[in-house]
Amino acid sequence: MKPIEVRNKIFLVGAVDWAIRDFHGYETPRGTSYNNYLIVDDEPTLVDTVKHDFAGVMLKNIRDVIDPAAIRHVIINHIENDHATSVDRVMDAAPAATLYMTERGKKGLARFFDLSGWRIKTVKTGDELKIGTKTILFIETPMLHWPDSMMSYAEEDKVLFSQDAFGQHIASSGRFDDEFIASASLAELDDAVIDYYANILMPFGSLIKAKIAEATKMGLELRVIAPDHGVIWRQGPGRIVQMYIDMAEGKAMQSVVVIYDTMWRSTEQMTQSVIRGVKDAGLDCRAIKLRATPMSVAVKEFWKARGALIGSPTLNNIPFPTICQFLTYLRGLRAKNRIVGAYGSFGWSGGAVREVYETVREIGLETFEPGVETTYRPAPEDEQRCYDFGAAFAEKVREYHAKF
């Protein structure tokens, strides 16, 4: 098969996973890819590996370019299973190779493999590897998004191998941003970027800003950003970096998302009135019923909007289980810069709305209080209260959004 050249003898040799829909519990409706890269020079160098199921595909792709036995260096930017669990297959095929990773990468990888038979060099920010005409610079990125994480940079070609950062869960035959935009759309690509950021990188906004500032200070020019998932940024590397800066700074749409669940449709009925209130107050509003929607999609929609209204019935004095699950996920993601209101129905004693607010305050998000509650079934006056609540929330979102 024809090798895919990223730039000047740098080849994409990874695999496309068209079938995956559950990525460690995260919904991936577009599939994904495990990208890794072969740099052909006097001392051929492999950057990252792939998920173990795809080791054979990767080795075949390498063979389409060179004999894997010729590989002299293998860089492990990140040890998570989807990138490093075929290191053993690579080392079998390339026995002369030396592995390069951070100190914490080595410590972590030792939990997956017996490292005693492999040559390993640990690296830190600023270290360089000369492989012939090309030079590889290492940049540690601890907690972006694991302690071991680093990036590497092909200096002469100005290609950044960014591991998970700037990635997207997309399976596509066109492996570059411009190809994907031509066959699908820029909006779909942006949606995949936001989905990935919201579900994986949301907790690390401050670190992301600091790392981008550090890279700018180092004077790294970026012609191509080559992540370990999804399309490669050869047309718009500057645009994706700016998107990351914006997201790290809390950029959102001046809109509202309503995230709810319902038992006997009372909270759903309240939801209809809340949505009309928001809409009539002039803001766009999207509703997500949690029981009908993957959690990762709900989090993406939460992240896109400046304001969220959470609707929950009371079950056994606490919020409905899907709402509890959503709030737990949000707590782990350390969501910021969003404002939240709550509403819901209950029978004989409430609890859901109070507990939603308690959790939202613990997470550190702004709240719009008090919420709205009804008993058993919303009466016309309850629907009016919900409508008014939605409209007042929209006004508050507008005011809060102006701070950003």
Residues labelled as active-site residues: 24, 78, 80, 82, 145, 164, 196, 229
Which of these segments, 77-85, 122-130, 247-255, 300-308, binds ligand FEO (CB under 6 A)? 77-85
Q: Which is nearer to ligand FEO, 200 or 363 (CB)?
A: 200
Kindly provide the residue ranges of all beta strands, DSSP E only, lying in 273-337, ordered along the sequence: 284-289, 305-311, 314-315, 318-319
- Contact present, 304 and 257 (Cβ < 8 Å): yes
> What are the C-alpha distances in Å from 6 to residues 36, 57, 151, 240, 340?
11, 18, 17, 17, 44
- Contact present, 291 and 322 (Cβ < 8 Å): yes
N residues, the chain: 404
Q: Check residue 48 for interaction with ligand FEO (CB under 6 A).
A: no
Q: Which is nearer to ligand FEO, 131 or 200 (CB)?
A: 200
Which of these segments, 57-65, 75-83, 351-359, 384-392, binds ligand FEO (CB under 6 A)? 75-83
Q: Which is nearer to ligand FEO, 273 or 296 (CB)?
A: 296
Q: Check residue 228 for interaction with ligand FEO (CB under 6 A).
A: yes
Q: Which is nearer to ligand FEO, 74 or 165 (CB)?
A: 165
In the region spanning residues 162 to 181, those forming contacts with ligand FEO, defined by CB under 6 A, are 164
Which of these segments, 74-82, 237-245, 270-278, 347-355, binds ligand FEO (CB under 6 A)? 74-82
Euclidean distance between CA atoms 104 and 112, whole angstroms: 13
Q: What angle do CA 334, 363, 385 make, to 5 degrees?
A: 125
Q: Check residue 51 for interaction with ligand FEO (CB under 6 A).
A: no
Q: How far is the CB of 200 from ligand FEO (least distance, A)?
A: 7
Euclidean distance between CA atoms 329 and 170, whole angstroms: 23
Q: Check residue 78 for interaction with ligand FEO (CB under 6 A).
A: yes
Q: How far is the CB of 78 from ligand FEO (least distance, A)?
A: 6
- Cβ atoms < 10 Å from Cβ of 183: 11
Q: Which is nearer to ligand FEO, 228 or 383 (CB)?
A: 228
- Cβ atoms < 10 Å from Cβ of 133: 11
Position among 41, 48, 82, 383 found at the interface with ligand FEO (CB under 6 A): 82
Measured from each CB, the residue nearest to ligand FEO is 80
Q: Which is nearer to ligand FEO, 90 or 309 (CB)?
A: 90
Q: Check residue 148 for interaction with ligand FEO (CB under 6 A).
A: no
- Contact present, 31 and 16 (Cβ < 8 Å): yes
Count of residues binding ligand FEO (CB under 6 A)?
Answer: 9
Position among 83, 211, 300, 338 found at the interface with ligand FEO (CB under 6 A): 83
**Contact pattern for ligand FEO over residues 378 through 397, marking x by CB under 6 A:** --------------------
Q: Can you say whether residue 159 is alpha, beta or left, with left for phi > 0 and alpha for psi between -120 and 50 degrees?
A: beta
Q: Check residue 17 for interaction with ligand FEO (CB under 6 A).
A: no
Kindly provide the residue ranges of all beta strands, DSSP E only, lying in 158-300, ordered along the sequence: 159-163, 224-227, 253-260, 284-289
- Contact present, 256 and 309 (Cβ < 8 Å): yes
| Token pair belonging to 19 | 């079938």
| Token pair belonging to 23 | 């990525």
Query: Where do contacts with ligand FEO occur on this chain (CB under 6 A)?
Result: 78, 80, 82-83, 145-146, 164, 228-229
